Amino acid sequence: MLEPGTEVRTWLAPAKVNLALHITGRRDDGYHLIDSLAVFTRFGDRLEIEPAEQDDFSVSGRYAAGLPLDDGNLVVRARDALRLEAGAQHAPPVAIRLEKNLPIASGVGGGSSDAAAALNGLARLWKLDIDDRSLARIGLSLGADLPMCLKSQPLVARGIGDEVSPLTAFPALGLVLVNPGIAVSTPEVFKALSSRDNEALPPLPKRLDFHAVRNWLTATRNDLEGAARSIEPAIGEALKALKRADAAFARMSGSGATCFGLFETGNVAKRAAIAIRARHPDWFVAATRSMEVSDGEA
């Protein structure tokens, strides 16, 4: 049995950025079908997990206020779901501390990424003999974004988000994430959709670098952006701010309201973030880079 205080591990729960998001249909149960290229960033929430005498969960950070500390939080539900799968004798009590750096309900998978980090972290801490498919099944029971967040690498997601295809090569991208301080309800955005049967993503170019990715993105969409902007016009202001800061490409991520700008280098992204923050000190603004994958790593 693990002794309290003997092992503390920190896990990054990265922001998920949907570079492109096409809505390709709707199932009879109401779930929408997607075709999305997603990347994960070096910026995100953080989880500290360690053995404890009894379960404990706490939250700190800029966006901690108002987050539930019971099973209304996906991290707690992830812990309990994995314990149920493993058996209580293999899953002793843990203290989990969440540092909440990402805005809530902001289209970058914050809660899902937190839960995925908890599943991955607890599986390691508890030394469980559990495969990726079983973790993805548990994750999907918590939310459609969980299977892709469990991978946390460049990927294409289809189905309801559960059909995940990691890419074998994808470059690191300089990104600025901007949220104008508003939360957007995902169900409300889907309800406002005008079209639910759109074409799938075009094939990715064979050779991927910054310019190829940017050019490919111009032939894609986020089908949720128009609906989200009709609910929260401030999303348009965030996109304008990114373009004013010379983003090579700007778009809303997920169901919003966070938008991303693409920049050729990390340093250019940092300078752009400083400029946007100076004009909009109350907004969430973060310069970061996406995680890359090289041939053979996936």
Average pLDDT (183-193) is: 92
Contacts with 166 (C-beta within 8 Å, 6 or more apart), sequence order: 151, 153, 154, 155, 293, 298
27 neighbors 200 (Cβ within 8 angstroms): no
114 neighbors 127 (Cβ within 8 angstroms): no
H or E element in which residue 271 lies: helix 266-279
Contacts with 280 (C-beta within 8 Å, 6 or more apart), sequence order: 178, 180, 241
Distance CA 214, CA 56 (A): 44
Q: Which two tokens stand for residue 192?
A: 């406002």
Say yes or no to pLDDT of 298 above 60: no
Concerning whether 197 is annotated as a catalytic residue, the answer is no
75 neighbors 110 (Cβ within 8 angstroms): no
Average pLDDT (13-28) is: 97
What type of residue is 11? W
Say yes or no to pLDDT of 5 above 50: no
Extract the runs of DSSP E, i.e. beta strands, from the chain: 9-26, 32-51, 56-60, 94-99, 155-158, 163-166, 174-179, 249-252, 259-263, 284-289
pLDDT for the residue numbered 159: 96
Average pLDDT (104-132) is: 96
Say yes or no to pLDDT of 74 above 60: yes
Q: Which two tokens stand for residue 13?
A: 């729960």
Higher pLDDT among residues 150 and 1, named by residue: 150
Q: Which two tokens stand for residue 1?
A: 């049995």
Which of the residues 16, 35, 45, 100 is marked catalytic? 16
Which segment of 11-20, 114-123, 214-223, 289-298 scores lowest on mean pLDDT? 289-298
Say yes or no to pLDDT of 295 above 90: no
**Average pLDDT over the chain, rounded to an integer:** 94
Say yes or no to pLDDT of 57 above 50: yes
- The CB density around residue 68, as the number of other CB atoms within 10 Å, is 12
Strand partners, 158: 163
pLDDT for the residue numbered 8: 74
Say yes or no to pLDDT of 1 above 50: no
Q: Are strands 249-252 and 155-158 parallel, antiparallel or unpaired?
A: unpaired
What type of residue is 57? F
Say yes or no to pLDDT of 2 above 90: no
Concerning whether 16 is annotated as a catalytic residue, the answer is yes
Residue with tokens 């809530």: 104
pLDDT for the residue numbered 294: 85
Query: How much of the chain, in percent, has pLDDT values that exceed 70?
Result: 97
Distance CA 259, CA 175 (A): 10
Which of the residues 35, 114, 145, 162 is marked catalytic? 145
pLDDT for the residue numbered 296: 56
pLDDT for the residue numbered 38: 98
Q: Which two tokens stand for residue 161?
A: 């988000």
Band of residue 115 on the pLDDT scale cut at 50, 70, 90? very high
pLDDT for the residue numbered 194: 87
Say yes or no to pLDDT of 4 above 80: no
In angstroms, the Cα distances linking 108 to 14, 189, 201, 254 are 9, 15, 20, 6
pLDDT for the residue numbered 289: 97
pLDDT tens-digit profile of 151-173?
A: 999 999 999 999 999 999 999 99
- In terms of C-beta distances under 8 Å and separation of at least 24 residues, what long-range contacts does 247-251 make, across chains too? 247/176, 247/272, 248/210, 248/214, 249/214, 249/217, 249/218, 251/19, 251/20, 251/217, 251/222, 251/225
Whether omega before 64 lies within 30 degrees of 0, making that bond cis, reads no
